[in-house]
Amino acid sequence: MPTSGSSRRAFIKTAAAAAVAATCGRAAEAQEYKPQEQKKLTQAAARYQDRPKGNESCGVCPYFVFPKSCVVVEGEISPSGWCPIYTAFPPADRGAHK
């Protein structure tokens, strides 16, 4: 460690500046990766219909949220409804929501 007073002050200023830079850098990184609320599709954009398509219906889709909503489509969703986003695979198998 430096021995003279001016060298000691220079060392402290440099160390303080490095600490501030490191802290600000971490804060910026954390803000970049902050999760954002996912926007849902409108029923029209999802081509939602309030009737099933064959054996496929919202009530058995893993995106359906009981009693009347969906993770992907906005608004009131009927368990008997259907849209092309319908899947029989659980979300974990598709990399979707948890």
| This prediction's pTM | 0.55
Strands in the chain per DSSP E: 64-65, 69-70
Tens of pLDDT, residue by residue over 23-61, are 655 555 556 766 667 899 999 999 999 999 999 999 999
- pLDDT number for residue 12: 73
Tens of pLDDT, residue by residue over 3-23, are 556 787 777 777 767 666 666
CB atoms within 10 A of CB 62: 17
58: burial class by Cβ within 10 Å (0-12, 13-18, 19+)? buried
61: burial class by Cβ within 10 Å (0-12, 13-18, 19+)? buried
The full set of domain ranges for the chain reads 1-34, 37-98
Cα-based distances in Å from 82 to 22, 50, 62: 51, 6, 12
CATH classification code of 37-98: 4.10.490.10
